[in-house]
Structure 1
Amino acid sequence: MARGSSITGAEQRDGSRRIGALRALGPFLKPYLPWVILGGLALMLTAGVSLVLPMAARRVVDGFAAGDLHLLDQYFIAAIGIALVFACGTGLRYYIVTRLGERVVADVRRAVFDRMIAMSPAYYERLMTGEVLSRITTDTTLILSVIGSSVSYSLRNMLIFSGGLVAMLITSVKLTGLVLLIVPVMILPILALGRRLRALSRENQDFIAESSGNASEALLSAQTVQAYSAEATAQARFARITEDSYRSALRRITVRALLTIIIIFVVFSGILGVLWIGARDVQAGVMSAGELVQFVIYSGMVAGSTAALSEIWGELQRAAGATERLAELLDARDTVADPAAPTRLEGRARGEIRFDDVTFHYPARPDIAALEGISLTIAPGETVALVGPSGAGKSTVFQLLLRFYDPESGTVRLDGIALPDMTRAEFRRQLALVPQDPVIFADTARENIRFGRPDATDAEVEAAARAAAADTFIRTLPKGYDSYVGERGVMLSGGQKQRIAIARAILRDAPVLLLDEATSALDAESEQLVQAAVDALSAERTTLIVAHRLATVKKADRILVFDEGRIIAEGTHDSLVAEGGLYARLARLQFTEGLAAE
């Protein structure tokens, strides 16, 4: 299985080398600039207080050496006050930055979801939905860690590093100069291993996304997996991806651990050597014991902040990779887009549909024409059936009419207006779809029907259910219309799902009705009831039907026969049977024999 989207692995690795990817979070932070400023002020307060404490320690040590107990008591009381300020400042900083992190991450998740839910199906031919979910969850969690703690922590340590360095210079220029000699030695491993760490961090996130995508695919198809006794295969596949992810994480952890070891050893070894020289200066009377203690504390703070920054650098690399991946989704270009200056439909559409010499290939099958040179006109209120063998192009007509894809050539029009000239939301409001595989959401039966028109009243929902022959079975559910039907409607049979989908379309009350095998999962009695509702619904609407049932096709005003992406015949049921050919053969095999069997 290929990881990621259409972006190549090389491009992904090159992008992960830039910590500047975190700048993409700027637009999400901008609305909360006051909170950023407050967090910065609290940060400077706590860092400043931290830098004052070693000075107090120096005074205490020198005061103790001088035997001035009164001064010693004053310094201890002052130190307690400083500790209180430090505690309050730290708590305030934590509250502000954590709240800011949660707010920004919530906004990022919403922005990514809003972008992804509007992407055309062509986009998801290149990217698994499970990977999108991984980015929305795992990657945003990394960003939360950075905004909520790592950035604040790194800035605090940078302030302590710079402030401590200045204080060290003030205390002893000689010792500080010796300490600074170890800086180049410390920078080298950061530069050498940092790039490797960034690449490994991005690779690790890719594996996590692949693992999530694989798990999502398998769990959503659990019944099929179990029906074919393929649990072991699914388990082995997930185990392989999980192990790949683990090995990638192990490589990242190893590099980061090595970086940490080198930096901490270099820093503390250097400081211990400098302190050895400082101890000799105290012995020689060049500096006081309090000054050495102050220098030791500042040295420890600078060393600690340096080590912490090396740790945080790794976190920032991971967050940069996560931000890049989210930015890829936010910047994704859809092949289907709304026009800058859309044409408006005045009121309710009449329902005239026209295909002008339309040719289309699915992106995943560029060598096979799903539709080729299709031209047809469907009059307002006309009922047209599309028939033909599987893969002939019938459902593709629906895909283009809903503008899930755009044709390579030709134009699809509604009421004479080309679909790309209107916003998708504008013309889709004029359409109601009943798919062959009905989509049922993890909600109540009532809300699943109301999905067709969110502002519908309970009475309108129930009337639509009655029209779709769904009312009776819904009322037998434990809580009637308020019964939870489970994820993808697992509590319902195939026929019940279809009736809810039909009720949803009836409730939508759109001028164009698209029925894709809408009655295929119904028993004979339910089909008669639903067919009567569909007939009544079709009377005042333009209706396109993909169906193999004889009763549905025979009632159509016109039948279009598709084969290999072309319309090879059209007419009424009787005229097409009389002509012979593909339709007559389909009618004999799929209709007459099926009817006899029934």
Structure 2
Amino acid sequence: MTAADGKQVNEAVHASAGCEGAGPLAEGSSLAIMRRMAGLMRPLAGTEARAIGCGSLGHLCTVWCIMASTAALIGLSGGQGRLTETWGLWAAVAVVVALLKGVMAYGEQYYNHEMAFSVLRDIRTTVFDKMRTLAPAKLARRGRGDMVTVLTDDIELLEIFYAHTLSPIVIALLTSLLNLILLTALSPWMGLAALVSYLVVGLLIPLASASPTFRVAMAERIAQGRLRSLLLETLDGRRELVGLGAAGQVRRNLDSATDSMLDARRKTSRNTLYNDLATQVVTLVCMAVFTLLVCFLGGRGTIGMTPALIGLVGFLSSFGPLIPVARLGAGLQPTLAAARRIFGIMDEEPAVEEVVDGLSLEEYTGTHAQGLSFAYEPDRGEESTGQGPVQVLRDLNLDIRPGDLIGIQGENGAGKTTLIDLLMRFRDRDAGDLTVSELPIERIRTADLRARQTLVSQDAYVFSETLADNIALARPSATREEIERAASQACLDDLIAKLPKGLDQVLTGHGSELSEGQKQRVALARAFLSEASLLLLDEPTSNMDALLEGKVLRSLIDQQGERAYLIVSHRPSVLAHTGRLMTLGEGRLLSD
């Protein structure tokens, strides 16, 4: 595949993700999903055509090899005068087409998988990019394990469609049509019997088994995603679960989730088995009926013995392309269920649209909120009960200027994190004004806004990279000296001294060797390294003892300069260092 082909595939995937009317497809029929999946491979139509050509010729070679061999054997036995003279030619034809069959089979597999893996690569990239636009607001309620399942197992399942569905269907259609022409030329009755047999095996069986299998396949995909989310959460919180004596309850939850997934998988396997059994039985019945018909026609003299034998062996060997199509009724349903989940993410509208060609944020002169209001829409499950939007913030006013050190306190659920989301434009306000440097926040280029703000959340994530690389996430172009200075400002000197390789130590298992307090200091080091003018700190010292907390707060104040700090915390010891303390309650901010 050329670079131009790869670019076209990527564009097709992005176009599919954002096409008009794409949303209903995530809940639409299997046929609509298949059409959309097929549309993604349009830039590689040439590769797919080569796969279809090789596959069709390969299966026809199988039939022709058997028919030519039969003709050669009849001629060799002296059964027909003309065939007796040309049996050697028919034997040579059988050998040639047998060799050609092997070449064509390799070509079919090669081109099918070249096309499939190219499309899967770009689908995975598109889904990952889509998740980035949905984060954090739209992914907050999705399980991490479910997202991993979509990016790995669900996308891998699409390979069945691209490598083992599209071309087999076309190959079955082409080969069946050519075989029908050949059998009809030998005898119209044989052609009619073959037509009925092909329709039953290649059309009726997959249609009959599709609907029940899809329902259980979708349940299996959902159950697997939930189980993986539960497993990841259990592994992340294993210390707390053991310490609280809750391991038994978690194990029961895991057993229940596993049982649900296995039950759905058993149903899927059972339907697949029934489909396979029906395919084999119906195929054998069709072969038996055709054989009886040929014997009847031959006995009545309607057809000669030679065309009868050649037609019979040709028909019996012609089901090779049809049987995989018959099995698609059950075998393809897990793939369609996976595709529906993937398209559901691709069609999801982000909470906010990224601004690419907006206003430039040259410098930070402050953030101003006037009459700010925000309400959460209910979940789908809540809509059925008639519950309306949940108002979190109403008529909130806030001024942040360079050099400010503002503390915000409030009860759990008061909306502190929501306020940070609005200030970072992870969500858009419902009403009121929100400006940054006197510019409407929704008109500012997103890249400029991110460059002027940084967030230190309560739960810091550490990647499986070196400590230096983890800190440098805030500014990849930072020098080694700048990274070392940021680490020191975040009070990481003791950790660096303990690590065998210091800043170059690889933190495996997402920083499993670090305490929660050390992870928070890594997050603070990132904030110090950034060149942001506004630092939003959500419980930045919640996992630190009093002594370490004091050192970190002193370092924050010493390094503040003209930066603005907005600190959300429950700790009086933290809030005591702020220059202005405000309380969030009933959706409004009140000065203390």
Q: Shorter-chain TM-score: what band? A: 0.7 to 0.9
| Correspondence 1:258-407 to 2 at 5 A | 258-282=274-298, 286-339=302-355, 342-345=358-361, 347=362, 349-363=363-377, 369-407=391-429
The 3-state SS of whatever aligns with 1:123 is coil
Partner of 1:220: 236
Question: Amino acid of the residue matched to residue 176 of structure 1?
Answer: G
Partner of 1:40: 52
> Does 2:148 align with 1:133?
yes
Q: For the Cα contact (< 8 Å) 1:383–1:556, is it kept in 2?
A: yes
Gaps of 5+ in 2: 1-22, 380-387
2:569, 2:209 → 1: CA distance?
62
**CA 1:524–1:220 in 2, change beyond 3 Å: closer, same or farther?**
closer
* Match of residue 117, structure 1, among 107, 117, 132: 132
**CA 1:107–1:475 in 2, change beyond 3 Å: closer, same or farther?**
farther
Q: For the Cα contact (< 8 Å) 1:165–1:302, is it kept in 2?
A: no
Q: For the Cα contact (< 8 Å) 1:403–1:419, is it kept in 2?
A: yes
Question: Amino acid of the residue matched to residue 210 of structure 1?
Answer: R
Partner of 2:505: 483
> Does 2:168 align with 1:153?
yes
Q: For the Cα contact (< 8 Å) 2:207–2:329, is it kept in 1?
A: no
Partner of 1:533: 555
Q: For the Cα contact (< 8 Å) 2:539–2:569, is it kept in 1?
A: yes
| Correspondence 1:440-455 to 2 at 5 A | 440-455=462-477
Quote how far apart the aligned CAs of 1:104 are. 1.3
Identity %: 23
| Correspondence 1:394-543 to 2 at 5 A | 394-523=416-545, 526-543=548-565
1:471, 1:543 → 2: CA distance?
24
Quote how far apart the aligned CAs of 1:300 are. 1.6
Partner of 2:109: 94
The 3-state SS of whatever aligns with 2:474 is coil
* Match of residue 203, structure 1, among 205, 216, 219: 219
Q: For the Cα contact (< 8 Å) 1:351–1:541, is it kept in 2?
A: no
Quote how far apart the aligned CAs of 1:53 are. 1.9
Question: Amino acid of the residue matched to residue 173 of structure 1?
Answer: P
* Match of residue 579, structure 2, among 516, 532, 557: 557
1:27, 1:191 → 2: CA distance?
22
The 3-state SS of whatever aligns with 1:451 is helix
Partner of 2:210: 194
1:194, 1:562 → 2: CA distance?
54
Quote how far apart the aligned CAs of 1:374 are. 1.1
**CA 1:20–1:362 in 2, change beyond 3 Å: closer, same or farther?**
closer
Q: For the Cα contact (< 8 Å) 1:388–1:562, is it kept in 2?
A: yes
Partner of 1:6: none
Deviation readout 1:386-416 (Å, 9 max, x if unpaired): 2344444434332221122222221222111
Quote how far apart the aligned CAs of 1:182 are. 5.2
- TM-score normalised to structure 2 length: 0.85
2:389, 2:444 → 1: CA distance?
30
1:210, 1:497 → 2: CA distance?
27
1:423, 1:247 → 2: CA distance?
49
1:190, 1:138 → 2: CA distance?
24
Deviation readout 1:109-131 (Å, 9 max, x if unpaired): 12111111221433235432322
> Does 2:568 align with 1:568?
no
Gaps of 5+ in 1: 1-10, 571-598
Partner of 2:181: 166
**CA 1:508–1:74 in 2, change beyond 3 Å: closer, same or farther?**
same
1:203, 1:554 → 2: CA distance?
52
- The alignment of Structure 1 onto Structure 2 pairs a total of residues equal to 558
2:205, 2:441 → 1: CA distance?
58
2:263, 2:542 → 1: CA distance?
48
Question: Amino acid of the residue matched to residue 166 of structure 2?
Answer: V
Partner of 2:61: 49
Query: CA RMSD of the aligned region, Å?
Result: 3.0
1:245, 1:40 → 2: CA distance?
36
Q: For the Cα contact (< 8 Å) 2:131–2:139, is it kept in 1?
A: no
Question: Amino acid of the residue matched to residue 154 of structure 1?
Answer: I
Q: For the Cα contact (< 8 Å) 1:16–1:320, is it kept in 2?
A: no
**CA 1:27–1:217 in 2, change beyond 3 Å: closer, same or farther?**
farther
The 3-state SS of whatever aligns with 1:229 is coil
Q: For the Cα contact (< 8 Å) 1:358–1:375, is it kept in 2?
A: yes
Quote how far apart the aligned CAs of 1:154 are. 3.2
Question: Amino acid of the residue matched to residue 419 of structure 1?
Answer: I
**CA 1:561–1:17 in 2, change beyond 3 Å: closer, same or farther?**
closer
1:359, 1:104 → 2: CA distance?
43
Quote how far apart the aligned CAs of 1:304 are. 4.2
Deviation readout 1:11-57 (Å, 9 max, x if unpaired): 99994642231222245323433322332332333234234324412
After the TM superposition, which of the residue ranges 352-361 and 287-296 deviates more from structure 2? 287-296
After the TM superposition, which of the residue ranges 536-545 and 325-334 deviates more from structure 2? 536-545
Q: For the Cα contact (< 8 Å) 2:25–2:32, is it kept in 1?
A: no
**CA 1:463–1:292 in 2, change beyond 3 Å: closer, same or farther?**
same
Question: Amino acid of the residue matched to residue 30 of structure 2?
Answer: R
Deviation readout 1:457-516 (Å, 9 max, x if unpaired): 222211211222213422421222121223342111233222211111111121112222
Q: For the Cα contact (< 8 Å) 1:464–1:506, is it kept in 2?
A: yes
2:78, 2:257 → 1: CA distance?
68
Deviation readout 1:520-552 (Å, 9 max, x if unpaired): 434455445433431232112122122456665
Quote how far apart the aligned CAs of 1:189 are. 5.3
Question: Amino acid of the residue matched to residue 501 of structure 1?
Answer: A
Partner of 1:25: 37
> Does 2:259 align with 1:243?
yes
Quote how far apart the aligned CAs of 1:448 are. 0.7
**CA 1:281–1:516 in 2, change beyond 3 Å: closer, same or farther?**
closer
1:413, 1:271 → 2: CA distance?
76
> Does 2:119 align with 1:104?
yes
**CA 1:194–1:513 in 2, change beyond 3 Å: closer, same or farther?**
closer
Quote how far apart the aligned CAs of 1:143 are. 0.6
2:547, 2:229 → 1: CA distance?
41
| Correspondence 1:55-94 to 2 at 5 A | 55-66=67-78, 71-94=86-109
Question: Amino acid of the residue matched to residue 48 of structure 2?
Answer: V
1:388, 1:190 → 2: CA distance?
59
Question: Amino acid of the residue matched to residue 40 of structure 1?
Answer: I
Question: Amino acid of the residue matched to residue 543 of structure 1?
Answer: Y
Partner of 2:5: none
2:393, 2:253 → 1: CA distance?
36
Question: Amino acid of the residue matched to residue 373 of structure 1?
Answer: D
Deviation readout 1:68-121 (Å, 9 max, x if unpaired): 778434433332222222111211221221122122112111211111122143
